[in-house]
Amino acid sequence: MRVIAGVARGRTLKAVPGMNTRPTTDKVKEAIFSMIGPYFDGGTALDLFAGTGGLGIEAWSRGTERVIFIDREKISIDIIRQNIQTAGMGGAAEIYRNDAERALKALAKRELKFDLVFLDPPYKLTTMDELMGELAANGMLEEAAVIVVEHDQAVRYPEAMERFDQIKYAKYGDTAVSIYRYHSQDSHDDRSDTDVNE
């Protein structure tokens, strides 16, 4: 695994030992960022099932100002720390060991808002739509925030959910990527359809 583009381009990232963590392949990562960026002008990202931290690190390398990494496994947290050091992120990263729902509650108390959210859980977890609902209900998303869900291609999330529209969907072997844009309730009715790259 490596950082594909941006200020940390070419840096090699460590994988989490064992088979419990399934890192996003460079091919899929490159496809994701070509759909949602490819570069960013500041903002804050949340990498909620961070694993190696590869998605959040890539977002920072491409211009995101700050990234919060969450994972419940100690070994993943240790690897994320090593990888952000390799990337040279410095003070641009926050890392917490917690499960997703508890982490969201803690972050909501800080009144944090995110421009970009990565949801790349173990494939047995198929409730990312519920977590997206929690992010919206707790006021944790900036207007037009982008949410990237990586999941088993056998699972299909809705094309539209309250406050979310699916703007991209793609399959790469056993992996599928569903990308959503968030809209506040007030702006939903009068917004025009736009592509993620605009």
**Predicted pLDDT at 56:** 98
Number of separate domains in the chain: 1
Q: For residue 90, what pLDDT is reported?
A: 87
Domain-located, residue 39: yes
pLDDT of residue 25: 86
Structural domain of 178? 27-184
* pTM, 2 dp: 0.91
**Domain CATH number, residue 106:** 3.40.50.150
33 part of a folded domain: yes
Question: Is 178 within the bounds of a domain?
Answer: yes
SS3 per residue for the chain: CECCCCCCCCCECCCCCCCCCCCCCHHHHHHHHHHHCCCCCCCEEEECCCCCCHHHHHHHHCCCCEEEEEECCHHHHHHHHHHHHHHCCHHHEEEEECCHHHHHHHHHHCCCCEEEEEECCCCCCCCHHHHHHHHHHCCCEEEEEEEEEEEECCCCCCCEECCEEEEEEEEECCEEEEEEEECCHHHHCCCCCCCCCC
* Structural domain contains residue 17: no
Query: Is residue 37 domain-resident?
Result: yes
Instruction: List the chain pLDDT tens, one digit each, 198 residues.
Output: 899 999 999 999 999 887 566 778 889 999 999 999 999 999 999 999 999 999 999 999 999 999 999 999 999 999 999 999 999 998 999 999 999 999 999 999 999 999 999 999 998 999 999 999 999 999 999 999 999 999 999 999 999 998 999 999 999 999 999 999 999 875 444 444 444 444
- Whether 20 is covered by a domain: the verdict is no
